[in-house]
Amino acid sequence: MIFDINNFFEIKSFLHKIIFENFQQIWTPLEKLSNYLETANLKSNRRNIQIPSTCYIENPDLVFIGENTSIEPYVYIKGPCIIGANSEIRHGAYIRENVITGKNCIIGHATEIKNSILLDDVSAAHFAYIGDSIIGNRVNIGAGVKLANFRLDKNEICFYLNSEKIKTNLDKLGSIIGDDTQIGCNTVLNPGTFLEKNIKCMPSLNIGGYITKNSIIKNASSVAIKKSNSRVLKNEFTSKN
C-alpha cells in the first residue's frame, strides 16, 4: 500500500525533506532516520545560543542546535539529533537519540521525544510523550498527550483502512499526524495511528486507526449535570436522635 504524502504533509519548505524521498510507506522516513543522522553534518556553531550549565548533552558532537534556539535549565539531549532554528526546549525536556525537529518548534516541560520527526511550528509544550512518530507542520500536541508506540502484547503493529487490515511489519510505531491537526489534552494515540491534515481531536480520548482529513474526533457520550435537591440532601445528612 502506498500513501499519498499530500494528505499528510507539505514538505517543500522543510529543511530535511530529502528524508521523505522515495518512501515506500508513510512511516518509511522513520526507518531511514538513523542512517540520515549518521551521514548528516551535525557540527553546529550554535550561534546566539546559550546552554545552561544544568543542561546535559550526551554525545555533543552528534547534536545540532539551530540558531536562536532557547535551551532552558535541566534539559537532557542525547545525540544524534537535529534541533531546528528559533525553537524552545523548555525546562525538564528529554530529547533522546534519532530526533529531528524543524524550525519554530516547542518541546516543553517533561516532554519526551525519541526516534521521531517534527516538521515546522510543532508545539508539544507540556508533559507529552512522542515515540516513533512523524508530526506535521503547525500541529499542537496538548498537555498530557501520549503517542504510544509499542503494543502490550509485543506483536506487530497493524491498523484498519477501509475495513482492510494493514500490516506494518513493525513492532514499534507511534503516530503519523498531518499538518494543522490539534490533539486535545490527555489524549492517548494508540500504536499505528494515522491522522491526515486538519483534524481536531477533543481532549481525554483514546483513539487509533486511520482517520481522513478535516475530521473532528469527539466522545459520543455526553456528561449530564443535574441540580441537587437541597431538601433531600439535608435529610440524608441529618442524624436522628
Q: Which one of the listed residues 16, 91, 109, 126 is annotated catalytic?
A: 126
Which pLDDT score is estimated for 23? 84
CA distance 232 to 234: 5
Which pLDDT score is estimated for 24? 83
Q: What is the CA radius of gyration of the chain?
A: 21
CA distance 217 to 16: 31
Give the list of residues 6+ apart from residue 192 with CB closer than 8 angstroms, or none.
157, 158, 159, 168, 173, 175, 208, 209
**Cβ-contact 3, 25 below 8 angstroms:** yes
Q: Is the dihedral of CA 187, 189, 190, 191 positive or negative?
A: negative
- pLDDT tens figures, 49-99: 899 999 999 999 899 999 999 999 999 999 999 999 999 999 999 999 999
Instruction: Name the band, by pLDDT with cuts 50, 70 and 90, for residue 2.
Output: low
Minimum mean pLDDT among 86-90, 174-178, 216-220: which range? 216-220
Which pLDDT score is estimated for 230? 53
End-to-end CA distance of the chain: 76
Instruction: Name the band, by pLDDT with cuts 50, 70 and 90, for residue 225.
Output: confident
Our answer to whether residue 126 is catalytic in this structure is yes
Side-chain-side CA neighbours of residue 28 (13 Å): 15
**Cβ-contact 158, 166 below 8 angstroms:** yes
Distances (CA, A) of 141 to 113, 147, 238: 12, 10, 48
DSSP codes, 106-156? EEEET-EEESEEE-TT-EEEES-EEES-EE-TT-EE-TT-EE--S-TT-PP
240 has which bridge partners? Answer: none
CA distance 66 to 199: 29
What are the residue ranges spanned by the domains of the chain? 5-237
Instruction: Name the band, by pLDDT with cuts 50, 70 and 90, for residue 41.
Output: confident
Which pLDDT score is estimated for 241? 45
Which pLDDT score is estimated for 97? 94
**Cβ-contact 136, 5 below 8 angstroms:** no
Which pLDDT score is estimated for 44? 59
State which fold the 5-237 domain adopts: UDP N-Acetylglucosamine Acyltransferase; domain 1 (2.160.10)
Instruction: Name the band, by pLDDT with cuts 50, 70 and 90, for residue 231.
Output: low
Q: What percent of the chain has pLDDT over 90?
A: 79
Instruction: Name the band, by pLDDT with cuts 50, 70 and 90, for residue 22.
Output: confident
Instruction: Name the band, by pLDDT with cuts 50, 70 and 90, for residue 39.
Output: confident
Instruction: Name the band, by pLDDT with cuts 50, 70 and 90, for residue 237.
Output: very low
Which pLDDT score is estimated for 236? 47
Mean per-residue pLDDT of the chain? 91
